[in-house]
Structure 1
């Protein structure tokens, strides 16, 4: 095994391990806080769902890619390849739609009372769970085609139209239909990314107007601290911008892989970029979102208030 393969395997291992640890911490924290009866923001339920699907993205792609980077290319059969790629694709699409839902919901929440979004403010908390279930149903159905076309690394020897993904392969459409297929499959993603860019611009404009209003009312030498709602908006803006950046780079490489005969390093790079947002996003939330610190302190306070074990009382 060459040193390049070892370096790739270690990169995927570190990315998957730390990302899964961060997402699992957030998922466990929000779940425990919810179970002990503390009040969560409507946006927190979206963050719980985002942490869960990001864990799925990392584990379904990071573990197989790590094994492939270490030279284990034939560890999955046809069924294994179908399940791994299907779970990853569904989780990846759910990460996209959940991030879009996060951006749109926060834009509605911080919109002024005089805007056209005011009638949706009270409805946002009511329909978050329904939207998540709808996204699951939609993406599980639309990605079922993967269960037909994905094959194991040895299951496609007699098929002329195949595409190799290091440890798995897939039958592809005839060349005349590839462009149409890619366009149809990419159209929803383009719409979601467009919505995120639009809501991001809207939230930036609202924050800028709020900042100008604060400067006007308090003067430049007496600027109060931003309210928690504005800090949460800034965190979401950072998350969405990071998602769009990594997603765009990954999409470009994915197109090169699909339409060409890429070297293995290009496939590894594409997968690594796809895992960057799920790996970094929990730590951005932990560092930037004051509510996460508040929930952590609340949980620690609950733990400290529990009766301490004393062996002398037995």
Structure 2
């Protein structure tokens, strides 16, 4: 524990964590604002707009809570109590679960959107975008119920030198569990991750197959009117595939670092674990924004309207 406590005096690690959080918060705020402005300007919504907007909001809140957690690691002013530890850590885990669920649902939604009319998935095309908020609400309640007993093991301890307690922050730690309880939580949380990552990979595989067949068909299409819609679908599909690939990569890295940390509780590994756990939330908004062609025109139009309103008011 003494090695971990030295994190509060390591300015390089602290700056790296806070810089990553600041970049992620800025990117997700910008992406969320972009979708809000699209709605205000009355632009035609796409099936992926709602889930991407929700994902940016989830990542924004998750990074804000992570910054609060990091503050208790690097700049502890005073120790948190049991209630604060339970609320903050539980809220952080809640947003991480929502990020996994929303990313998986986004992949499934895009696969449903691309499915042909003859497919059994075609009947969900009109329903899935409007029901995503309901799916997220249901999943959040379901997984909160599953992991709620874990809250009882999160506690504030004045003495964090005991090896039986697992370090979380300067104020908070995880109380020791019995063998059966530990493995029950491990099986439940691992099963959740396997299910959603598996669905993500299946839907991504379907989109890759669709993209391959679309490329073959495009060789025989020479009419511009026939190629406009597939090009738009292809751009959206490539964006989702990039997101899914990046998520899976960061998930694998996070799992590897988490496993290594279970045998070597060093401050460097702890820092790497924090960075990998939030790498997807930090980088994903910039990946999405890089594919948006109308982002400059929307912000330019909004800025022009604001300037006109100010000039008229002053005049």
TM band (smaller chain): 0.7 to 0.9
Instruction: Note the alpha carbon deviations across 1:163-191, whole angstroms, 9 max, x for none.
Output: 12242211132235423331122111110
Structure 2 residue corresponding to 1:128, chosen from 132, 157, 170: 132
Aligned with 1:227: secondary structure?
Answer: helix
TM-score by length of 2: 0.85
Instruction: Return the match for 2:289 from 286, 291, 294.
Output: 286
Preserved contact between residue 86 and residue 143 of structure 1 (Cα < 8 Å)? no
SS in structure 1 at match of 2:290? helix
Runs (5+) with no aligned partner, structure 1 = none
**Post-superposition shift, 1:284?**
0.4
**Alignment TM-score, normalising by the size of structure 1:** 0.86
- SS of 2:117's equivalent? coil
Report the Cα distance in structure 2 between the residues aligned to 1:313 and 1:126, rounded to whole angstroms. 42
**Is 1:13–2:18 an aligned residue pair?**
yes
2:48–2:110 Cα contact (<8 Å) kept: yes
**Equivalent residue, structure 2, for 1:203:** 207
Question: Which residue of 175, 190, 197 corresponds with 2:179?
Answer: 175
The SS at the match of 1:144 is helix
CA-CA distance at 1:121 after TM superposition: 1.4
Which residue is equivalent to 1:301? Answer: 301
Q: How does 1:75-154 map to 2 (within 5 A)?
A: 75-154=79-158
Q: Which residue of 2 aligns with 1:262?
A: 265
Unaligned runs of 5+ in 2: 1-5
Q: 1:183 to 1:224 in 2, by over 3 A?
A: same
Decide whether the 8 Å contact of 1:94 with 1:136 is kept in 2.
yes
Indicate yes or no: 2:241 matched with 1:237. Answer: yes
Is the contact made by 1:90 and 1:143 (CA closer than 8 Å) also made in structure 2? no
Q: Distance in 1 between matches of 2:179 and 2:30?
A: 45
Question: RMSD value over aligned CA atoms?
Answer: 2.9
1:4 and 1:156 mapped to 2: Cα distance? 17
Question: Is the partner of 2:300 in helix, strand or coil?
Answer: helix
Alignment: residue pair count: 305
